[in-house]
Structure 1
């Protein structure tokens, strides 16, 4: 299938139908991982032409993702990242953790968005946010595609940093997802502080399943803010 660049059609529709002036695209990464945070990026792009090759981060090579992320950091009008920790995921469940990380990202933006484009079919944000869900928005919407790339590159870097302290799990290459190396390390060494220990994979670890928890407490997540502070519409 030939490459179809993302457009601003949803942003334009929101402007026309709701009067929204500041529209943020939101995408997450790390939802299906067994270790590490879930990371959400909120990006505001205005209506400028995006960098060439922008699309869903999963369709890009690691090198191209990094190149695009470097371009996007200076190109977007504003962006911010929010994270929910493994402990918060265990305590709250994934849907609530996604909302928490998303709100952290949105509230870290320099201006509160009038509307949000959320990748997927499920609105896990809810009130008071004005949300438009778009299936495969990370391929079709400029702001969501930008958020996808920025979130993926940032979380991959975080996981590589975590992997320095537990090299056996190869977080630098699997980003906390269940690769064969990751599975073998779990079976041998058990979960680390970075694992989501309420998840079902713990049931398949005979030596360690006694460590499975349902609602453990945990540290607060963090938010990062970046991008330009001015808005160019």
Structure 2
């Protein structure tokens, strides 16, 4: 299906209206997975022309995505990754875990951005970051598209590496599903239960009565406020 390539329109708008010079595109991967971290990439691209074929990582074949990520990591002005572990997701809830991973990525950049373009309609970052949310930003904004591709490829590689740790982990086929639901993943969960890399607050455990006792339900009051749509304005 034809698609419009991403542009620097949002970056130019932010430069003109806010005076921002360093603008980071931010995107996440792993939000809906049953296992593994949620991973956020922050990418600063400037206003240069991007590599050919850049768009949302979900619209690119795995082979091309891997090739493009290698090019992008050398092309971007700077980029950094942040992760929240399954344990942090269980403890904090997804919204707060996303914020934690995003802050880790942004603070790992060599220079703090003046503004952030965040994929989606919800600002899970909040203060003190200056955020512009863009629905389908990973398709329309060059910096967010670059972050999307790098985050996807790097997290997929992390999940594939887990299979090498043990025969038990290989049973979940993380190299094929990256921790997301799949028939092989579901069958391994039913037989073996969750691994140390699984999220134990996820609803999939409700369908596995033999393992349902492992489910975690408690999250912090701060995380509950974020999950319900509040903005606490943390200063990490």
Where does residue 215 of structure 2 map in the other structure?
A: 212
Which portions of structure 1, spanning 4 or more consecutive aligned residues, are displaced by more than 4 angstroms?
none
> What is the CA distance between 1:215 and its match in structure 2?
3.9
Whole-angstrom CA distance in 2 between matches of 1:2 and 1:192: 40
> What is the CA distance between 1:211 and its match in structure 2?
1.0
Whole-angstrom CA distance in 1 between matches of 2:77 and 2:49: 12
Deviations 1:162-184 (A, max 9, x none): 12231110000000001010001
Where does residue 36 of structure 1 map in the other structure?
A: 36
Deviations 1:118-169 (A, max 9, x none): 0000000000000000000000000000000000000000000112231110
> What is the CA distance between 1:3 and its match in structure 2?
2.6
Whole-angstrom CA distance in 2 between matches of 1:124 and 1:213: 23
Partner secondary structure for residue 72 of structure 2: helix
> What is the CA distance between 1:2 and its match in structure 2?
1.8
Deviations 1:21-44 (A, max 9, x none): 000000000000000000000000
Say whether 1:110 aligns with 2:113: no
Deviations 1:208-229 (A, max 9, x none): 1111122489xxxxxxxxxxxx
Whole-angstrom CA distance in 2 between matches of 1:167 and 1:8: 42
Where does residue 100 of structure 1 map in the other structure?
A: 100
Give aligned pairs, total: 217
Could you state the TM-score of these two structures normalised by the residue count of structure 2? 0.90
Whole-angstrom CA distance in 1 between matches of 2:15 and 2:144: 16
Where does residue 146 of structure 1 map in the other structure?
A: 146
Partner secondary structure for residue 122 of structure 2: coil
Where does residue 231 of structure 2 map in the other structure?
A: none
Whole-angstrom CA distance in 2 between matches of 1:199 and 1:176: 12
Where does residue 230 of structure 2 map in the other structure?
A: none
Whole-angstrom CA distance in 1 between matches of 2:108 and 2:97: 17
Where does residue 170 of structure 1 map in the other structure?
A: 173
Where does residue 188 of structure 1 map in the other structure?
A: 191
Where does residue 206 of structure 2 map in the other structure?
A: 203
> What is the CA distance between 1:206 and its match in structure 2?
1.2
Point out where structure 2 has 5 or more consecutive residues left out of the alignment.
Answer: 221-236
Whole-angstrom CA distance in 2 between matches of 1:160 and 1:2: 31
**For the Cα contact (< 8 Å) 1:87–1:216, is it kept in 2?**
no
Whole-angstrom CA distance in 2 between matches of 1:199 and 1:66: 29
**For the Cα contact (< 8 Å) 1:35–1:194, is it kept in 2?**
yes
Point out where structure 1 has 5 or more consecutive residues left out of the alignment.
Answer: 218-233
Where does residue 224 of structure 2 map in the other structure?
A: none
Aligned counterparts, 1:70-149, within 5 A: 70-149=70-149
RMSD, aligned α-carbons: 1.1
Partner secondary structure for residue 82 of structure 1: strand
Partner secondary structure for residue 39 of structure 1: strand
